[in-house]
Structure 1
Amino acid sequence: MTSLVIAEHNNASIKGATLNTVTAAAQCGGEVHVLVAGANAAAAAAAAAQIAGVTKVLHADGEGFAHGLAENMAAQVLAIAADYSHILFPATASGKNIAPRVAAKLDVGQISDIIKVHGADTFDRPIYAGNAIATVQSLDGTKVITVRTTGFDPAPATGGSAAVQSLTAVAASAQASFVGSEIAKNDRPELTAAKIIVSGGRALGSSEKFNEVMTPLADKLGAAIGASRAAVDAGYAPNDLQVGQTGKIVAPQLYIACGISGAIQHLAGMKDSKVIVAINKDPEAPI
């Protein structure tokens, strides 16, 4: 029984979500292999080989993987899927894009957003916006799983000495091509990896007030900035700052909610924070 973790990386280094996914894979039992599919991604493959608990790194290099297109990534995973009992993806935008394609092609059910591993075939996952936990058992020969990274501690990024094996890259899909991307530059920590997050809600009243209150607070604390869906819908903050069921799932050491009442969808995205500070006028607010 061997598990395959699909690494997220920038062709030079491994992203933090991969480390949490390796921990989940190790709990499934057996060996843990990591697939690094990229373009000129030898450095990322070498970094993956250093992750504690990883026994082998599979490195597929091709231009079709340069931007992580789901069509090409899924084809590469399917090319080696027969060798694995479990195929695990971080439950990020990328993982959620690739995993369903793999599960559909393998004709198996996808097990989404797991937060606990009971055994090789049994897992916990949140349902009803996190208000209930479902324990699910899969009888499929291959388990295709997405991992809610806040549910697992990251594996140590150093200390391992896995062998790196080169794979022949699959041909790039003719149906999809990379057109371009607009990446927002931000000097603050990434929202999903930040240890401190300050979030603003609709009560702040305007985009100007949101920036006036939240920006200096985040700068002082070295924190990432988040927002409720109501604040995003009102135009106070951009979509990529949204925390919640339809935004980003976070679990920082400290979460400061300013003017957020705590709708069920927002709570689902931040309730695993270690310390939660709520600043608002309503003592009966759900948060």
Structure 2
Amino acid sequence: MAKVLIVAEHLDGKLNAATAKCVSAAQALSPEAIDIVVLAADPAAVAAEAAQIAGVARVLAVANDANTHAIAQVLAPQVAKLAESYSHVFGPSTTFGKDVMPCVAALLGTAQVSDVMAVEGSHVFKRPIYAGNAIVTVEAPAGHVVVATVRTASWPEAARGGSAAVETVSVEAATPSHTRYVGLAAGKSDRPDLQSARRVVSGGRGVGSKENFEIIYKFADKLGAAVGASRAAVDAGYVPNELQVGQTGKIIAPDLYVAIGISGAIQHLTGIKDAGTIVAINKDAEAAIFEIADIGLVGDLFKVLPELEAALA
């Protein structure tokens, strides 16, 4: 019988929604138990939030000053030590999970299963390959703890309303001294987080310049949406790369995705194919984005967006 440990992702004392999506993936195993581990300097608030996720049996709160910042080389030895009591260890396929989980797999001497989008059995999973153009079935090695990242765009958030027990635990694991936190360079924004936002407005090469991208920000604010961008827009220097959506950026699944001036390269489409409703605005009627869009509007974005804003007002 499977027993799953989920590594919680959190920031500034708040649990990331990706953790609840990992719980959904774990539930597909019909496991004996699902536990969540919260590693932080003070895990109390995050652990209390994690305990409310339905289907979770226990939340393990690991308090350690070394866990103040999410450094993979520091967190992984602790997770690997806890993993000895579990059959599966899941983490989200986010920047955090992609950093931590391979280190956990290496310490456990096993291969990681990446981007799990469906569970076929205790050791059999489906994941995308070739930029999402094909789905492959993979089998994790028997006799080893299964370490996997969960493709968050493919799973819903598990319901709230749970009341899991929160247990304070200590982990005796050697952490490296040669890896240390120096600083964090991150953009500040009052807009919703791109990976968890329910509405996203993205701009592409068609926006034309960094200055012109203000029209995208303005329209996103009107919708209360996060802002994203195509790789072409990022490469052109219109926006920083943390806004990039696609196979080499962030893979997202918002309820509403508005693609403005984006032609629809395959690597971009891979990052948005699980979105609820896709709206495309492009002056090129032959743009590939229209092939997957639920709603398409052919027109000049600099004329269309002001009209849409006026209609929304």
Common fold by TM > 0.5: yes
Question: How many residues are matched?
Answer: 285
| Residue 153 (1) aligns with residue 156 (2) | yes
Structure 2 equivalent of residue 99 of structure 1: 101
Equivalent AA in structure 2 for residue 4 of structure 1? L
| Residue 112 (1) aligns with residue 114 (2) | yes
| Percent identity over paired residues | 51
Q: Return the alpha-carbon distance in structure 1 between the equivalents of residues 273 and 203 of structure 2.
A: 16
Q: Return the alpha-carbon distance in structure 2 between the equivalents of residues 235 and 272 of structure 1.
A: 27
Q: How does 1:225-236 map to 2 (within 5 A)?
A: 225-236=227-238
CA RMSD of aligned residues (A): 1.3
Deviation (angstroms), 1:29: 2.3
Structure 1 equivalent of residue 55 of structure 2: 53
Structure 2 equivalent of residue 284 of structure 1: 286
SS at match of 2:53: coil
Equivalent AA in structure 2 for residue 126 of structure 1? P
Contact 2:77 2:107 in 1 (8 A): no
Structure 2 equivalent of residue 275 of structure 1: 277
Contact 2:259 2:279 in 1 (8 A): yes
Candidates 201, 207, 214, aligned match of 1:204: 207
* 1:89-119 Cα deviation digits (max 9, x unpaired): 0011111111111111212111000111122
- Could you tell me the TM-score, scaled by structure 2's length? 0.88
* 1:196-221 Cα deviation digits (max 9, x unpaired): 1111111111111111x212211111
Structure 1 runs, 4 residues or longer, greater than 6 Å off: none
Contact 1:11 1:43 in 2 (8 A): no
| Residue 193 (1) aligns with residue 209 (2) | no
| Residue 3 (1) aligns with residue 7 (2) | no
* 1:103-152 Cα deviation digits (max 9, x unpaired): 11212111000111122111110111011111112233211000011111
Structure 1 equivalent of residue 27 of structure 2: 26
Distance 1:198 1:120, change over 3 A: same
Equivalent AA in structure 1 for residue 73 of structure 2? E
| Residue 44 (1) aligns with residue 46 (2) | yes
- Could you tell me the TM-score, scaled by structure 1's length? 0.96
Contact 1:11 1:38 in 2 (8 A): no
Deviates more, 1:78-87 or 1:276-285: 276-285
Q: Return the alpha-carbon distance in structure 2 between the equivalents of residues 14 and 273 of structure 1.
A: 22
SS at match of 2:279: strand
Structure 1 equivalent of residue 267 of structure 2: 265
SS at match of 1:34: strand
| Residue 163 (1) aligns with residue 165 (2) | yes
Structure 1 equivalent of residue 298 of structure 2: none
Q: Return the alpha-carbon distance in structure 2 between the equivalents of residues 180 and 172 of structure 1.
A: 19
Structure 1 equivalent of residue 292 of structure 2: none
